[in-house]
Structure 1
Amino acid sequence: MTTDGGGWTLVASVHRGDERKCSSHDKWSSVQTCNYGWHYGSGYYYDYNGKGSSTWSNRLTMGSIETATDEDYKSSDYFREKASDVMLSHVPNDIDPSEFESQSFLRYHTTDGFLTNYGSSLENLYSHYVPLKSLGIVGLDETITKLAKTHVNITSVYPDWSNYWYNSDKTTTFLDYEGETLLEGNQVFFKVNDEPYTRMEYGKSYAGSLNSYHVSSTDTEHFMTLATISSTDGHPNKFSLKVASNISVGGSTENLYASSSHNGFYAEAHALHVYNDQNKPTVTFLFFFVSNYEKWDNWQGSINFPYNHDPTNHTYEYTVTGSMKNVMMGYMLITRNESYLSTNYNWRYQNGLHDVLEHILMLFGIFLTLDLTTTDIKSLHNIPQFAPAVKFVKGSISYPNHNVTSGYLQFRAYDSQGYAYALCPGIRLNEEAKPSQFCLGSPGKFHYWDYNHLHICGDFSAWETLDEHVTQDRSTDGNGRFVNDLHSTILIFTR
């Protein structure tokens, strides 16, 4: 390619043809290792986890220069060739390599040598600087952190609440009664997979890389710990909370269970209630789980609530394992006066726990009504855009009224749910723009049983939903037929 002094090397092509979407032809959005089975019986697996294809960052090759406009192409020069700039050229499908330059109807390239500072290859860029990993439930981590630290006081709900206090380093809780310490503990730990437990400091937040998990707790009464596990890239596949306490309340331990639903959310709770017959305060360790498939697109995995009948052992472990995604688990410490309970005996049993769970859902009311699928990721995660400017050599791009700016090449763009798209040709996305309509390399975030999400898979994702891609005639092919964006190939060059 002789554009602007030449020296350009064709390293890849992204082809859009008439074949069925999300098939083996969409190789930039497919992976060759996946635990969820074949897609359409093709030779490639499709990534149902929403983590984005590894094709952009690995060293696998595919196709050939001769068929680069008939199918997807990626050469070894994609990762071996040292380069400083990138050029994209849009051409009709099914043309000969000798026509790549003459048939180009859109061509633009960077001019600032940006790639020199980012590994000098596209493979290094996607491997180390703009990895295509999802961010989990967008907005959920921040919302939970705010909710956990609010001064909404569940103690006011119960006239029989018994106050407790924390030590100076905020790792231990004490419950006193008439000069006697009934509870010393409430030491909370969390564990990811089979790693060692981490002891939590009250009021402090802990997060995994790319928000694969987030756990936080309050440092005021009432005490609550909340954790979200996104696990959209398969990590973690096990998450545990542990609570350890020494209790001299004495008496017996009851295991209570309840469930409830509200506005599409489902909550399940298990409580361990420690009580006595001496009119002393009681202690309840309440563990709960919240899910919502419609809003969070979650898989709840296998829930293992603690279960105990030993009043001398009060170390409880609560674990979620297996195929989980976008789930929330929590723990609350409730201390109450037995004198009140003695006249309201039913609180010890299922109906009482169900009422407690209803109060939890009520306090979560504002949180539960958030539409997490439309939360703006840029304002929540403050992720800087990586979009070097480009010079147009042939043609121009314009999408009026669609919140995008022409004249850039954006590498990685997140949608409102935190899923990453690889490349946005010729533009930079502004707030509220949908990367599925403008960017290449979808995150593959659909399940084989969920046909409502088919429009957001494939190399060109949801391009067919934008009129400009369908109705705008860009060029004519060798047979005199008009070419739109859905019947063209994007050639990727570096130099």
Structure 2
Amino acid sequence: MLRHVINQTPLESSREQSILQYQTDNGFMQIYGGNLHAMFNLRYQLKPENVFYPDVNSMLDRLEAKDTEITNLITDFYPYSYGTHPSRLEDSNLFGNYYGMAIYFNPDQNCYPYEYKANCPSDDVDYGLDFGCDLGNMMQSSRKMRPFVALFAVGNFDHCFYYLHFRATSYRPSTDFFREYKGNHILNNFFLHYEAQCRYGAFDASLCDVWFYVSNAKEWQSSEMPPIELYNRTYTSDYYFGWTIREAVSNTLFGYTMVSRRNSVLIPEIEINAVAYKLLEIISETGNFCPDCYYDDDVLSVPVQFSIGNASVVNSMLPPSVKPLQTGFVQFRAYGRTGSVYAMCPAVKVNDWRSEFVCIGGMMNPDSPYLDDCNDFTNWNGLPNTAVQEVTPVDYAHSQRDLDSTILIFYR
């Protein structure tokens, strides 16, 4: 039986003053050693797991499998070569004897603990390699396919990263002519926005740098996209083209692709628009933004019967940003977005990163230190700088009443 009471409530009056009380009736604990100590040691060990990363490689697999569907949309597509540099695309017909094209990514965090810096260095992307950023739950990867594609899956579940900068640096002379395009596409619940710059005239082949982002508020729980600042600079022998986002976004996919055409002919807007829609078609086959963020087979969820309160009361206590969750259960073991493990989820069942906001008894992942992952009520106070309300949950935070409460556990 579990009983939720305000701190310092005398034990003898805890039932009368309890907020919630519920119990199991299937004798499950006898199967796992008879008590919590035995259950956690023998069956559901509290060991941190891996950081939750969004999966970009399944998207890249589908894009690569359908690459000809993309290149067929470009008249006289030029199948450029890559060269040998790990982070630059080098092709003499596109870049002459210059350094080629590089993709640069710069994220910046603004969250606790300030002394811990996530492994997200500002640097050029090494083509063909995966790279994960633990604190922001971001994963980037790319494929040396034609057309070249780089994807940046920004989980950023706790809005830790408030600044993202993406840019392509291409070494072509300022004598190039250029044209800019942009547009939007909607497919079911998916939304894609793109901006492109097409260069032609200086070398034997023309190119278009295309930046795009994809969001889905329903299936991916993507946050609303803030304004994007276009970053566009032209110099004597090179240019920068990219985006800057100065607000936190979550569950959003950013991407880059480069298409090219023979004979230095401008690629028309209608073809770039078609490429963008084809990208959306292929990416929209992704069901979950972060499929590895879900787990079902290594936790124990036991139904409960309410003797004080009910499922509606539990729902009223849950932070609005974690809803919906299944109520009417007590769950043993859960995992957070940084790989931390939590002992118990009282009155709810959860199978993803939201556990840290509703479960208790946290054990920090030593490979990914993060504030408040190691205490009784984990991150029940929500995200950093959240203004906790007295009796009303807000954002990812419980109310102050819940934070000042105790959960009593009785078993026999």
Aligned residue among 158, 165, 177 for 1:240: 165
Shift of 1:229: 0.8
Contact kept, 8 Å, 1:13 with 1:72, in 2: the verdict is yes
Contact kept, 8 Å, 2:44 with 2:332, in 1: the verdict is no
CA shift digits 1:363-406 (9 cap, x unpaired): 44243044338x865xx7679725599xxxxxxxxxxxxxxxxx
Shift of 1:90: 4.5
Contact kept, 8 Å, 2:74 with 2:271, in 1: the verdict is no
Aligned residue among 259, 262, 266 for 1:334: 259
Matches within 5 A, 1:50-449: 62-66=7-11, 68-69=14-15, 70-71=17-18, 90=22, 108=29, 109-112=35-38, 114=40, 129=48, 135=52, 140-147=55-62, 149-150=64-65, 152-153=67-68, 154-177=70-93, 181=96, 184-193=99-108, 196-209=121-134, 212-248=137-173, 250-276=175-201, 280-299=204-223, 300-308=225-233, 310=235, 312-338=237-263, 340-341=265-266, 347=268, 352=269, 355-372=271-288, 377=292, 385=298, 410-412=332-334, 423=344
When residues 189 and 302 of structure 1 are mapped into structure 2, their CA distance, relative to the original with a 3 A threshold, is: same
When residues 339 and 386 of structure 1 are mapped into structure 2, their CA distance, relative to the original with a 3 A threshold, is: closer
Cα distance in 2 between the residues matched to 1:186 and 1:410: 50
Letter in 1 for 2:218: E
Task: Compute the TM-score of the two structures, normalised by the length of structure 2.
Answer: 0.61
Contact kept, 8 Å, 1:136 with 1:231, in 2: the verdict is no
Contact kept, 8 Å, 2:62 with 2:282, in 1: the verdict is no
Shift of 1:253: 3.1
Cα distance in 2 between the residues matched to 1:113 and 1:214: 35
Shift of 1:155: 2.5
% identical equivalent positions: 15
Contact kept, 8 Å, 2:44 with 2:298, in 1: the verdict is no
- Tell me the residue number matched to 2:408: 491
Structure 1 residues not aligned, in runs of 5+: 1-9, 16-24, 26-61, 74-88, 93-103, 120-124, 390-407, 446-453, 460-488
Cα distance in 2 between the residues matched to 1:279 and 1:376: 43
Cα distance in 1 between the residues matched to 2:188 and 2:271: 17
Contact kept, 8 Å, 2:135 with 2:160, in 1: the verdict is no
Contact kept, 8 Å, 1:281 with 1:338, in 2: the verdict is yes
Letter in 2 for 1:305: L
Task: Compute the TM-score of the two structures, normalised by the length of structure 1.
Answer: 0.52
> Secondary structure, in 3 states, of the residue corresponding to 1:177?
helix
Cα distance in 2 between the residues matched to 1:226 and 1:381: 21
Give the number of the structure whose residues are more often helix, by fraction.
1
Contact kept, 8 Å, 1:143 with 1:367, in 2: the verdict is no
When residues 355 and 167 of structure 1 are mapped into structure 2, their CA distance, relative to the original with a 3 A threshold, is: closer
Cα distance in 1 between the residues matched to 2:248 and 2:84: 39
CA shift digits 1:414-436 (9 cap, x unpaired): 89xx9x9873579999x99xx9x
> Secondary structure, in 3 states, of the residue corresponding to 2:126?
coil
When residues 428 and 333 of structure 1 are mapped into structure 2, their CA distance, relative to the original with a 3 A threshold, is: closer
When residues 388 and 177 of structure 1 are mapped into structure 2, their CA distance, relative to the original with a 3 A threshold, is: closer
What is the root-mean-square deviation of aligned Cα atoms in Å?
Answer: 5.3
> Secondary structure, in 3 states, of the residue corresponding to 1:144?
helix
Letter in 2 for 1:64: T
- Tell me the residue number matched to 1:14: 4
CA shift digits 1:202-229 (9 cap, x unpaired): 1111112277111111112211111111
Contact kept, 8 Å, 2:174 with 2:234, in 1: the verdict is no
Name which one, 1 or 2, has greater alpha-carbon Rg.
Answer: 1
